[in-house]
Amino acid sequence: MIDASKGFVKDGNKNRLRAQDIHKIVDVFNKQLALDRYSRLIPYDEIAEKNGFNLNIPRYIDASEPEDIHDLDAHLNGGIPHRDLEVLQPYWDVFPSLRKTLFEDGVRPGYSRALVEARAVKATILGHEEFETFKHSSLQRFEAWKAKHQDQLAEIKIGDKPKELIFDISEDLLVQFDKADLLSKYDIYQILMTYWAEIMQDDVHLMVQDGWKAANVVRLLVPGKDKNGKPKYTEEHDFEFGAGKAKKRYRSDIVPPSLVIARYFPDKQEALDALQGEHDSAAQELESFVEENSGEEGLLEAAKNEKGAIAQKGVKDRIKETSDDEELAALEKCLDLMGREAKAKKAANAAKLQLDEMVFKKIPKLSEGELKLLVVHDKWFGAVGAQIIEKIERVTQQLANRVKTLEERYSETLPTLVKDVEKYAGLVETHLKKMGLAW
């Protein structure tokens, strides 16, 4: 019997099985595996005699999570119960010295004392050498999978079958992460299958239809019409050139412009980031100045337009009208700040347009070798690898959260809390009496 009721993803008002849920069910059934809180081989006598042929699954498999029971002794006398720490044994097996870094034996048998403050637990775990070893060994599995399939992916050609490709590489990813410490091979498998469904399969389908030259294509997007007859785009664009009726939008379906920039134009991106930073700073300075001088008695209030906004025309007109020196100084400074903000914005926009044009011209000229490097290594492997790293770091987050919960739960004993209540109740009573209140 299998209780797979916990394995799904919410999709509106429906619960949908993911690729990993289906694969796990099939694996457990075909291999007749017994997994804690998931599957069991049930003896006939248990079905017939104990349960009267009632096949209700919860009678045979308890899929509920273990109850998080509070230790009353720890609440009264302090300390973290060893029982709670022993539940984390799978982590201590992988990080054998980490427990001694976080805890030491307490003054009472069966209880430990925390050595690291709750807020510093995550940083302590992330900085521990055994976590680095765990992270490295986990990523080595991914590197082995990449090395095995990089040529296969780079050799995709017209006529290949995408379903056979994803079956081959996904099954091998399961094999690579089989029995990986603290990581579920099915969770890793799902990372690839989700990426395949959302991004990778579209890339591969284009390639098996048109070859690697499909990755050179930057296509013009043709807008439809909305209900008012105005142009409406149904796809997101990567490039936009021109303005008004001459505006045109383009999309690179396979090669993301950001990856082209990272590999070929990093210096241009760095310069653009600096200009955008200057614009953000100028815009923030202008916004702060306007906010400080707005309001009923604000020096800029009279320069606002009908919509309550500050514009250059209104500021210039008010400068001609006012005879107040203080207001004039504020208006002139505001005009100066507006000019600086506009100049910084113009410089940033010009740099972005220049970079967009460079990338727009570069993608169609990329060689097949360059395309394979960008798509296979930078895009596909990069995206899957980043999510695997997130999954690895989530392991530490789960451990840190549990340790933090235990430390905070038992950090203040009941006697201490009672004394605090008595102390503050006395202070409140004293203040009330000083106010002339009695009861």
State pLDDT tens for residues 301-315. 888 888 889 999 999
Query: 436: pLDDT confidence band, cut at 50, 70 and 90?
Result: confident
Give the global pTM.
Answer: 0.87
pLDDT higher than threshold 90 for residue 113: yes
Residue type, 277: G
Nearest by Cα to 203 from 382, 195, 358, 236: 195
- Could you tell me if 88 and 405 are in contact, meaning their C-beta atoms sit under 8 angstroms apart? no
Q: What is the mean pLDDT of residues 52-80?
A: 93
Model confidence at 229, pLDDT cuts 50, 70, 90, reads confident
Point out which residues pair with 15 in neighbouring strands.
10
β pairing state of 103-105 and 80-81: unpaired
Phi, psi (deg, nearest 5) at residue 382: -60, -45
For helices 266-292 and 325-362, give the axis angle rounded to 10 degrees.
Answer: 160
Checking if the pLDDT of 106 tops 90, the result is no
- Give the list of residues 6+ apart from residue 335 with CB closer than 8 angstroms, or none: 312, 315, 316, 319
Give CA–CA dist 31/25, Å, rounded: 10
- Asked whether the predicted pLDDT for residue 438 surpasses 80, the reply is no
Residue 180 has pLDDT above 90, yes or no: yes
Position 341 confidence tier, pLDDT thresholds 50, 70, 90: very high
Q: How far apart are CA 134 and CA 93, in angstroms?
A: 11
pLDDT at 396 over 90: no
Looking at residue 417, its pLDDT comes to 87
Decide if 214 contacts 206 (C-beta within 8 A). Answer: yes
Range among 227-241, 272-286, 321-335 rated most confident:
272-286
- Which is more confident, 231 or 194? 194
Give the sheet arrangement for strand 111-114, strand by strand. 80-81, 111-114, 103-105
Alpha helices in 235-311 (DSSP H): 257-264, 266-292
Give 340's pLDDT tier (boundaries 50, 70, 90).
Answer: very high
Question: Given this model, what pLDDT does residue 226 score?
Answer: 85
| Of 113, 211, 205, the residue nearest 166 (C-alpha) | 205
Average pLDDT of 392-413? Answer: 92
The pLDDT assigned to 420 comes to 87
Q: What integer pLDDT is reported at residue 426 of this predicted model?
A: 87
Token pair listed for 425: 């109740």
Q: What is the model's pLDDT at position 70? A: 95
Rounded-to-integer distance, Cα 364 and Cα 300, Å: 52
- Determine the pLDDT at residue 348: 97
H-helix or E-strand spanning residue 27: helix 19-31
